[in-house]
Amino acid sequence: MSTVAQASASSHRNITRFVQPIVFVAILVLWCLIPVFVGGSQYMLDLFIIMIINAVLAMAFVMVFRTGLVFLAVMTFYGVGAYSSIVFTMHVHMSFWLALPLGAVASAFLAFILSPFLLGKTTSALQFIVISSILGMMFSLAVGNTSYLGGYSGVQGIPDPQSILGIDFTYGKIQWFYLEVVLIVIVIALLYGFYKSSVGRAWRAIGLGPRLAQSIGVNIYRYRLTAFVLACFCVGLFGGFYAHYIGYISPDGFNMWQNTYLQLYAILGGLGYPIWGPIVGAAIMVFIPEYLRPIRQYAQLFVAIILILLILYMPQGILGLKDFKFVKNITRSMQSALFKPREAKAKAPSGG
């Protein structure tokens, strides 16, 4: 590679490292202003809250998927977090602020206990799909037949969080919105750290080829276990949040077929984008059907057609648009304009 090309690539990497945090902070600031943009509409705030919950569930699916496994029990561990938080607050009389992280830990701990059966050395990717789908079906049945957890009637009267720093969660959704902002920032920071580390690179290597990754010394079981437990921790955290936000849950809300929607969110946004892909996919799948309410009888058909077209002609998802030729040309033009002065300076002969 020439000196000019090396300088250009190095400059590009430095700019990317500098720009990414700025973009994230800008998006976060705009997100915090959403209650102002929607005029405090409780209905719109509810849509944004549900959208982020769906996005986190899809992020968990993508995280495990990057290790070459299709996780069909996301809703199970989401439910474990929800019901654990309820047990801690309603039966053990624990504070919400302690019950919420403990519910996430309970979900992650269950994942760790089940990992030898799900991720054992003799367990293939197909067996993982079958076992996780069985777990997904068993959870609703198990909870539905447990009176201590409310049975099929569900649990009502789930308490709101105790006031903290003078913030009361009893009325309105703005408080819940900002609590969710804190939680999603924690989750994104956690996932981003893993994806940028050697762990994230190992996940990608395993996803591209488990046998090849193993041949170069990657411990497949250990890295898959990390992804699996971390994914279950994240969904467990938001499961507890969801239970207290809604105030009522039942086993039907955690059935295995809900996993289909999570896959759609991930595919629609782009499986190659483990954080922003699920957010974009969840936003589209939450808001487009809402704006199609005037033609409600055709809304699902319209969304289904759009999804089929996207999967056929944009397999890399919405965020994969940058791989289209016309977008690449625009990107090259921008990069050329950005790096042209540096290249010219690099080509200039030194004096003397």
pLDDT at 171: 81
pLDDT at 21: 75
In whole angstroms, give the CA distance from residue 306 to residue 312.
10
Place of tokens 């500098």: 18
Expressed in angstroms, the distance from the first to the final Cα of the chain is 27
Which two tokens mark 113? 């206990």
In this prediction, residue 259 has a pLDDT band, given cuts at 50, 70 and 90, of: confident
pLDDT at 344: 47
pLDDT at 308: 81
Prediction pTM value: 0.84
pLDDT of residue 234 exceeding 60: yes
Which of 41 and 233 is assigned the larger pLDDT? 233
In whole angstroms, give the CA distance from residue 248 to residue 79.
12
% pLDDT > 90, the chain: 49
In whole angstroms, give the CA distance from residue 267 to residue 261.
10
β-sheet bridge partners, residue 213? none
pLDDT at 339: 52
pLDDT at 9: 46
In this prediction, residue 1 has a pLDDT band, given cuts at 50, 70 and 90, of: very low
Which of 290 and 38 is assigned the larger pLDDT? 38
Q: What angle do CA 265, 271, 274 make, to 5 degrees?
A: 90
In whole angstroms, give the CA distance from residue 58 to residue 76.
14
pLDDT at 352: 43
Average pLDDT over residues 235-258: 92
Which of 161 and 8 is assigned the larger pLDDT? 161
DSSP H helical segments within the chain, as ranges? 3-32, 34-37, 42-65, 74-86, 96-119, 125-144, 174-195, 198-208, 210-215, 220-246, 259-269, 276-291, 296-313, 325-347
pLDDT of residue 143 exceeding 90: yes
Which two tokens mark 272? 């190659």
Q: Compute, in degrees rounded to 10, the torsion defined by CA atoms 263, 80, 163, 166.
A: -40
**Cα–chain-centroid distance for residue 280?**
10
pLDDT at 163: 85
In this prediction, residue 333 has a pLDDT band, given cuts at 50, 70 and 90, of: low
Supply the angle between the helices 3-32 and 325-347 in degrees, to the nearest 10: 130
pLDDT of 107-118, one tens digit each? 999 999 999 988
pLDDT of residue 266 exceeding 50: yes
Report which DSSP code applies to 275. Answer: T
Average pLDDT over residues 48-67: 95
